Amino acid sequence: MWVEDVIDEDKDEFRPPNAIAWASQLWDMQLFDNIIYNIDRNPGNLIVSHDYKLWLIDHTRAFQFKYELLNDDVVRVRRSSYERLLALTKDDLAAALSSYLEPLEMASILERRNAMKTYVEKLVAERGEDAVFY
């Protein structure tokens, strides 16, 4: 597949101008992939624009009927995303996703959200809020 105006992440010249901004996009991806249970994240499912914005594509193998987290790759969490995730309700999901997902798939998202809450609370207890949230 050929896409215009993208950067090859595997090339030596790949150098994001802001390492923290780049890392925060990767941290966001890790949280997102755990919540949607995306078992197929790979370099072919990422596009990096010339301004080093990360675009996540191909979620065809996501939304599994699993209640546990996909992995423990989450090391930092954007506080605003985490707070919005905690506030997410069954009705919110139904309003946004009922045309695309089955009820069990949406219930799985909420269960993984609860597992993520437990996981993040453990990280905070071990490392402190400032080391976990950004």
Contacts of 48 (CB under 8 A, 6+ apart): 6, 7, 8, 9, 14, 54, 55
Q: What is the pTM of this model?
A: 0.91
Nearest CA among 35, 30, 29, 27 for reference residue 66: 35
What gap in Å lies between CA 37 and CA 125, rounded to an integer? 25
pLDDT value of position 2: 55
The answer to whether 20 and 26 are in contact (CB under 8 A) is: no
The answer to whether 97 and 106 are in contact (CB under 8 A) is: yes
The answer to whether 41 and 86 are in contact (CB under 8 A) is: no
Give 69's pLDDT tier (boundaries 50, 70, 90).
very high
What gap in Å lies between CA 14 and CA 56, rounded to an integer? 18
Question: For the residues 25-35, what does the mean pLDDT come to?
Answer: 98
Domain residue extents for the chain: 6-58+69-132
